[in-house]
């Protein structure tokens, strides 16, 4: 007795499932990474170039950064290719510009790549350690980590379903 089975329908179904699952997981990682980066941006204070003029001029002399507020917020970025570089965005809309660049960079993400979220502003750690001095009532990293953990615990599966 000889039995033959046409497995082409099963093969197509498995291929379709693989493509959909890959697309959804990729979308989930992109959304999660975007939320993490934007949360860090939101938790980073914007400076005051008038109040702290001496620090801004010192920063310009020592590092070469413009004496304009917004650099710390605008320095958040993502990398999917392993490069970590400083980015210099300034002004009241530096957060919006950084968010747009992050979204654009995440469009290049391929499932399995490592996403790095960074801020290579030379004084970001100083802002973190001395948040009270700069009229900010909370540090940057702990509320960001708390938000990331809540997002991870409560919303990650939603990001998968939405993608």
Q: Is residue 148 part of a domain?
A: yes
Q: Is residue 9 part of a domain?
A: no
5-41 pLDDT, tens per residue? 788 988 999 999 999 999 999 999 999 999 999 999 9
Q: Is residue 3 part of a domain?
A: no
34 Cβ neighbours under 8 A, 6+ residues apart: 102, 103, 106
Q: Is residue 90 part of a domain?
A: yes
pLDDT score of 128: 73
Q: Is residue 20 part of a domain?
A: no
- Residue 89's domain comprises 39-162
Rg, Å, the chain Cα set: 22
Q: Is residue 31 part of a domain?
A: no
Structural domain count of the chain? 1
60-113 pLDDT, tens per residue? 999 899 999 999 999 999 999 888 888 999 999 999 999 999 999 999 899 999
Q: Is residue 142 part of a domain?
A: yes
């Amino acid at each position: 007795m000889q039995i033959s089975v046409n497995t082409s329908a099963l093969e197509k179904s498995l291929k379709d499932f693989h493509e959909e699952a890959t697309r959804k997981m990729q979308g989930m990682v992109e959304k999660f990474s975007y939320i993490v980066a934007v949360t860090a941006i939101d938790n980073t204070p914007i400076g005051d170039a008038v109040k702290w003029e001496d620090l801004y001029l010192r920063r310009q002399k020592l590092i070469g950064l413009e004496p304009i507020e917004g650099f710390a917020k605008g320095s958040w970025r993502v990398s999917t290719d392993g490069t970590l570089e400083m980015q210099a965005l300034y002004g009241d809309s530096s957060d919006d510009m950084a968010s747009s660049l992050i979204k654009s960079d995440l469009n290049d993400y391929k499932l399995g790549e490592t996403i790095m979220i960074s801020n290579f502003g030379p004084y970001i750690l100083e802002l973190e350690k001395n948040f009270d001095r700069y009229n900010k009532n909370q540090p940057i990293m702990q509320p960001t980590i708390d938000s990331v953990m809540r997002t991870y615990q409560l919303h990650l599966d939603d990001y998968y379903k939405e993608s």
